[in-house]
Amino acid sequence: MIRLTGVSRSFAGRSGTVEALREIDLDVGDGEFVAVLGRSGCGKSTMLRLIAGLLPTTAGEVRVSGDRVTKPRRDIAMMFQRPALLPWRTVLDNVLLPVQFYGWRKSAHRQRAHELLALTGLEGFEKRMPHELSGGMQQRVALCRSLIANPRVMLMDEPFSALDALTREELSGELQRVHMELGATIVFVTHSIDEAVLLADRVVVLSPRPGRIREILDIKIPRPRTLGRTAHLEEVARCSAELHELLMT
């Protein structure tokens, strides 16, 4: 589904060139959930923007479904740290924003929007305004907006980082459920080891800048997952400890 081959990216600045990523080789399978983990400044967000077609590579290439990515595509959705909802639009109209942007018939997607809001626990909030929602609820709306066009690929750049710990864990559970039901391919950037273990099929650990793939860890814990007491608590702890050692070394 997604293939990065020899991908490098540098940025020119006043004090010289900054190398963000160096020679990244990565394959992400159809329907797979891959988390990208690393220290601040290691190029995680840059990698997402390269896959999304928002930035060109300095070297190497990015392909999605066999096609080289050179610009943004309708089958790739991106979700950022902040929900960025339009304050003058209702919840429903915010979800339908991509439909209007692409010039599609709103009536053909309205039912889909209602289904997504119900799936994420927002049924009955369709006519509310963003300021009437909690931060977690706003991010759920942003998730629905990302899903409205049925993207084949979802790129998520620390979407829960601004939320409190309990809300983050709750939304991680919701995202697990949405992924299991809809089956989109997801690349999820995070600083959180717990999020990576809860959500991912594989975790890509990047080295400090320039970001290179240091390790790819398979997470073979049955879903749905939780940080609470379950039969798989020992395996959750083992994966978390291994990721912690990789990041700290």
Is the model's pLDDT at 12 over the cut of 90? no
Dihedral of the alpha carbons of 4, 188, 238, 24, in degrees to the nearest 10: 20
What are 164-200's pLDDT values in tens digits? 888 888 888 888 888 888 888 999 999 899 889 989 9
- pLDDT top residue among 170 and 76: 76
Q: Which two tokens stand for residue 49?
A: 């923007």
**CA 98 – CA 109 distance, rounded (Å):** 10
Q: What is the pTM of this model?
A: 0.90
Spatial neighbors of 1 by CB under 8 A, at least 6 apart, are 28, 29, 30, 31, 32, 64, 65, 152, 153, 185
What are 84-122's pLDDT values in tens digits? 899 999 999 999 998 888 888 888 889 999 999 998 889
Residue ranges of the chain assigned to CATH 3.40.50.300: 2-75+152-248
**How is the beta sheet containing 67-68 ordered, strand by strand?**
16-28, 2-13, 59-64, 67-68
What are 21-63's pLDDT values in tens digits? 999 999 999 999 999 999 888 999 999 999 999 999 999 999 9
CA end-to-end distance (rounded Å), the chain:
32
Cβ burial 59-98 (10 Å sphere, 16+ → b, else e)? ebebebeeeebeeebeebbbbbbebebeeeebbbbbbbeb
Domain made up of 2-75+152-248: CATH architecture: 3-Layer(aba) Sandwich (3.40)
**CA 1 – CA 129 distance, rounded (Å):** 37
Contact between residue 1 and residue 169 where contact means Cβ atoms under 8 Å apart: no
